[in-house]
Amino acid sequence: MSPVIQHQRRSLPAYPAPLSHSRWKLWPGLTIAAALIVLSLAGLGALVWEAELPGLSEFWSNRYLRTVVTFTIWQAFLSVVLSLLVAFPVARILARQPAFPGRAFLLRLMELSLVLPSIVLVSGIISVYGRQGWFTGLANEWLGTSWNLYGINGIVLAHVFFNAPLAARILLQAIESAPASQRRVAAQLGLGRWWYWRAVEWPAVKPVLPGLAALVFTLCFTSFAIVMTLGGGPAATTIEVAIYQSLRFEFDAGQAALLAMVQLVICGFFWWLAARHGLTASLLPDRRVASHRSKAGSSIWARLGDGTALAVFVLFLVTPLMAILLRGLPGMGSAFFPDGTFSVNPALLDATLRSLGIAIPAGLMSVIAALLILASGTSQSRPTITRLSDVAAYLPLMVPPLVLGTGLFLLFRPSLGNSSEGLALVTLINAMMALPFVLQMLRGPMGSLDSASRMQADQLGVLGWYRWRWLHWPRMRRPLALAMAYGTGLSLGDFGVIALFGSPGQPTLPVLLYQQLGSYRIDAAAATGLWLVLLLLMLFSLFNRLGSPLFNSGLAPKSSRTVPEPEHA
């Protein structure tokens, strides 16, 4: 052993990191949150300004409006419970069966369900569960039951289809980030399923549960298109639907604003409850050395049981998609091979490009905004303000887009001239609407830097940009790619915002779909719907590819084992 390490000592770190001042961490996120609050209040305020607010007593004495409020809460509650009941077992099975053929594809499908445009999905659900549906036929013949889709059945079914996969995805992420030490101990003890659940899975899932439940509740509470088609009639109406109805022909701005406030108060209450338990997924260290399979998932019978349960879930997810495929195929011919040779229908091509032109920037904006908000949340100096900014990010879910849209239109109309400004506004609002989901996807991974690593990074001066580049970015490639896919996908399938601010003369894909429907072009519409689904599937695959470690560059370690980043696929 010879002394080879010799050098002069230096007294202070000589390389300050760019953007390392704490203001860079706090203020951008807070500014975005403040902008969200201001925008929401401005939209609502403009409506209130436009019309007198009816009195609350008048509101409560209206039997119909009371029915609407109670029905909205009831169906949202049922949807949350059922979605979680489906999501828990699915997430657990997926966690204990980390390698089976088709697992990655199943995860893609689960991601897809949330972003499917509801009109397309509803047509798929009707093909399966409607009066002439495949499922209904089987149920009537074999079980002798008479299943009726229309009414609360259909609403809750469609909500479970939308939300259970999302919930399962988030729960899976939480279970997979359970501390290695716990899993190791559990594996050594050979815990049975119940004890494994108690010792490992439940503690991992518990912190994400309040936020997840609030998210699903809000989504179902504000549901619109599903309720309008499957609800059956005015007896099954949500607040969001009632707002649409009161603005449509009557332009009853007062009632709309009041309903919006009721919605805001109820959803805001749930978010406040969730935030009290902490929205932050957890600060569990993710120092996993290797994955330890629990004993619970390895026996033949266990695997058979898991396989059957998953097969049922897959069937639930895939059958409506198959129906969309079967309906769309006849029209694909004229969309892509109008004269026997391949050439895309120009209207479809334009709409596709326009949709992507809106969706990709919107996705990017939502991801950046989410990161900035999360960054301001990690600076621990002002907990009340950061919690406020956290909840503000969920405002776009609670404020009805129609109210926001009409209000902003009243405010900005004189200065909104041409349609390209309209499209920019569509992009901005789409980014806003996607923000809550993107935030939910990034929250866990962003908070997963454990305290020892944070201390080391602080001392080494790995701050600001450097910390992002070397400590967060390499571990967040996958979550970021997934978040980007969600942000883009949600905007791609959007019909609500574009219908308000866009110009139907320049349709996006969902608008084109509606226009074809409105003109008896059923085959063309079905083909557009199928094309939209395929486009979404391609988008998710592409972003997943981009997020995979294969694309890692720079100081990529050449290692036999994989990088222990939070797993997402």
Partner 1 sequence: MLNRAFTLFLFTLFSVPASAEKASTLTIYTHPSFAAEWGPGPAVKAAFEQSCDCQINYVVLDSGGDILQRLRLEGESTEADLVLGLDTGTMETTRQTGLLANHDTDLSALSLPIDWQDPVFVPYDWGYFAFVYDTEQLPEPPKSLEALISAPDDLKIIIQDPRTSTPGLGLLLWMRHVYGDQASEKWQQLKGKILTTTKSWSDGYFSLFMNGEAPMILSYSTSPAYHMAVDKTDRYQAAEFEEGHYLQVEVAALVKSSDQKELGQAFLDFMLSEDFQRHIPLKNVMYPATDLGDELPAVFDKLIQPSDALYFDPKTVTDNRRTWLNEWLDAMTR
Partner 2 sequence: MLEVQNLVFAYPGQETPWNFQFSAEPGHCIAIHGASGSGKSTLMNLLAGFLEPQSGDILWQGKSLRHAAPWQRPMTSVFQEHNLFEHLSVTANIGLGIHPGLKLAPEDTQAIERGLDSVGLSGFGQRLPSDLSGGQRQRVALLRAILRKQPLMLLDEPLTGLDREARDLLRQLLLQQKAQGALIVLASHDEEDRRILADSVCTL
Among 17, 41, 53, 318, binds partner 2 (CB under 8 A): 17
Question: Rule CB under 8 A: is residue 189 a binding residue for partner 2?
Answer: no
Question: Rule CB under 8 A: is residue 132 a binding residue for partner 2?
Answer: no
Residue 293 CB, nearest approach to partner 2 (Å): 18
Of these partners, partner 2, partner 1, none, which one is at the site of residue 234 (CB under 5 to 8 Å by kind)?
A: partner 1
Residue 349 CB, nearest approach to partner 1 (Å): 13
Residue window 422-461: x/- pattern of binding to partner 2, with contact defined by CB under 8 A: ----------------------------x-xx-xxxxxxx
Burial 72-95 (b: 16+ CB within 10 A, else e): bbebbebbbebbbebbbebbbbbb
Cα–Cα distance, 492 to 490 (Å, whole number): 5
441 Cβ contact list (under 8 Å, min separation 6): 170, 479, 482, 483, 486
Closest CA relative to residue 255, chosen from 396, 410, 58, 409: 58
Question: Rule CB under 8 A: is residue 245 a binding residue for partner 1?
Answer: yes
158 Cβ contact list (under 8 Å, min separation 6): 118, 121, 122, 125, 226, 230
Residue 469 CB, nearest approach to partner 2 (Å): 7
Among 66, 131, 198, 287, binds partner 2 (CB under 8 A): 287
Determine the size of the site formed for partner 2 (CB under 8 A): 50
Cα–Cα distance, 31 to 281 (Å, whole number): 23
Cα–Cα distance, 531 to 493 (Å, whole number): 11
Cα–Cα distance, 383 to 29 (Å, whole number): 14
**H/E element, 114:** helix 103-115
Of these partners, partner 2, partner 1, none, which one is at the site of residue 143 (CB under 5 to 8 Å by kind)?
A: none
Question: Rule CB under 8 A: is residue 505 a binding residue for partner 2?
Answer: no
Number of alpha carbons in the 13 Å side-chain half-sphere of residue 301:
0
Question: Rule CB under 8 A: is residue 234 a binding residue for partner 1?
Answer: yes
Q: Kindly list the distances between the CA atom of residue 370 and the CA atoms of 157, 257, 485, in Å, as whole numbers in the listed order.
A: 30, 28, 14
Q: Kindly list the distances between the CA atom of residue 252 and the CA atoms of 50, 53, 249, 369, 385, in Å, as whole numbers in the listed order.
A: 10, 10, 8, 34, 36
Among 54, 89, 203, 232, binds partner 1 (CB under 8 A): 232
Cα–Cα distance, 346 to 336 (Å, whole number): 10
Among 424, 457, 534, 546, binds partner 1 (CB under 8 A): 424
Among 357, 465, 518, 551, binds partner 2 (CB under 8 A): 465
Find out whether 283 and 60 touch, Cβ atoms under 8 Å. no
Of these partners, partner 1, partner 2, none, which one is at the site of residue 9 (CB under 5 to 8 Å by kind)?
A: partner 2
Residues 56-95 that bind partner 1 (CB under 8 A): 63-64, 67
Question: Rule CB under 8 A: is residue 380 a binding residue for partner 2?
Answer: no
Number of alpha carbons in the 13 Å side-chain half-sphere of residue 6:
3
The label of the residue with tokens 């309040």 reads: 210
Question: Rule CB under 8 A: is residue 347 a binding residue for partner 1?
Answer: yes
Nearer to partner 1 among residue 72 and residue 386 (C-beta) = 72
Of these partners, partner 2, partner 1, none, which one is at the site of residue 298 (CB under 5 to 8 Å by kind)?
A: none
Nearer to partner 1 among residue 130 and residue 210 (C-beta) = 130
Of these partners, partner 1, partner 2, none, which one is at the site of residue 470 (CB under 5 to 8 Å by kind)?
A: partner 2
- Point out which residues bind partner 1 (CB under 8 A): 63-64, 67, 119, 122-123, 126-127, 130-132, 150, 225, 228-235, 241, 244-251, 347, 406, 409-416, 418, 420-421, 423-425, 427-428, 499, 503-505, 507, 514-515, 517-522, 525-526
- Point out which residues bind partner 2 (CB under 8 A): 1-13, 15, 17-18, 285-287, 289-290, 450, 452-453, 455-463, 465-466, 469-471, 474-475, 555-561, 563-565
